[in-house]
Amino acid sequence: MTAGTAATGAVSPLLTRLAEERATGALLRDRGTLFLEDGRIVHAESPATPGLEILLTAGGGLTRERWREAVDRAGARREVARFLVDSGGLAGGELEICHLAAIFDAAFFALSPGSGPSRFRRGATHWIGSVRPVPAEAVERETVRRRELLDAVWPYPLLDTAPVVPREAAPGQTVTLRQRALLRAADGVRTPAALAWALGRPAFHTLLDVRRLAAAGLVETPREPAPAPAPAALPAWMTQAQPPDVALLRRLRDALEASL
């Protein structure tokens, strides 16, 4: 491991090293995969996030048929992104913005602390092709910022995985259009991840909206699970301090002094 790895206080030491090596391939973790090209991140996906297809089609910028056509016709040569733009199905700016959103969203989950060990498959590429590479360092920095932001808004991580239960607004309390759409879709069963899929929004954005709504009292904050039962108490003779054995200490002192 090189010296630079420690300096960044990295989210993933392996990712930092691969970026330094300008590696190309896929970094696989339990909660997602990052694709690198020359050490820069060119794509990311995670089972926890809706992904590029959903983000592009939910906004109405692209039809599902167009997407499927692009995957069918350009997937094998790994140029889906270029095909979408060149065929006039999608504006370059729109693709780039949604693609960046998808990368940072998937990376947030892929690089989360509980995402398990990392493996790297050297040389692996993704069929989406090239859009706009992002420095690995920028992705790591943003991932850390996002973690801190969630806890700054409302430090209850249980909200991220529990079903979202709306609460009645206080008199005069208003929510934004986006939040209203989220609350309407929250049926007491869907988790934030399920809501992200249903609304076609990035999963992190949904986590953040749910935390904001919970902070405003518009979503129930789940209680901490009951603390685990206290372990059986140890017998007193193991835990209570014993009076020092004065006779033993005297003998030790005498022996030490005798050897001086």
Partner 1 sequence: MANVELALKEATTVIEGAIGAALVDYTSGMALGTLGGGKDLDLTVAAAGNTDVVRAKVRTMEMLGLNDEIEDILITLGSQYHLIRLLRSRGSQGLFLYLALDKQRANLAMARHQLKKIEAELEV
Query: Binding residues for partner 1, per CB under 8 A?
Result: 55, 58-61, 85, 91-94, 96-98, 100-101, 104, 132, 142, 145-146, 149, 172, 174-178, 200-202, 204-205, 208-209
In the bound complex, what is the minimum distance in angstroms from residue 61's beta carbon to partner 1? Answer: 8
In the bound complex, what is the minimum distance in angstroms from residue 8's beta carbon to partner 1? Answer: 17
In the bound complex, what is the minimum distance in angstroms from residue 98's beta carbon to partner 1? Answer: 7
Residue 65, phi then psi, degrees to nearest 5 = -65, -45
Nearer to partner 1, 174 or 242 (CB): 174
Nearer to partner 1, 191 or 209 (CB): 209
DSSP class per residue in 134-175: EEHHHHHHHHHHHHHHHHHH---GGGGTSPP-B-PPPTT---
In the bound complex, what is the minimum distance in angstroms from residue 237's beta carbon to partner 1? Answer: 57
The pair of three-digit structure tokens given for residue 103, joined into one six-digit string: 């990368």
Nearer to partner 1, 15 or 208 (CB): 208
Nearer to partner 1, 56 or 74 (CB): 56
**Among candidate residues 153, 78, 59, the one with its CA nearest the CA of residue 123:** 78
* 120 burial via Cβ count (<10 Å: 0-12, 13-18, 19+): middle
In the bound complex, what is the minimum distance in angstroms from residue 105's beta carbon to partner 1? Answer: 9
Nearer to partner 1, 126 or 142 (CB): 142
Q: What span, in angstroms and rounded, lies between the C-alpha atoms of 247 and 31? A: 61
State the Cα torsion 107-108-114-120 to the nearest 10°: 10
The Cβ-side half-sphere exposure at 224, using a 13 Å CA radius, reads 5
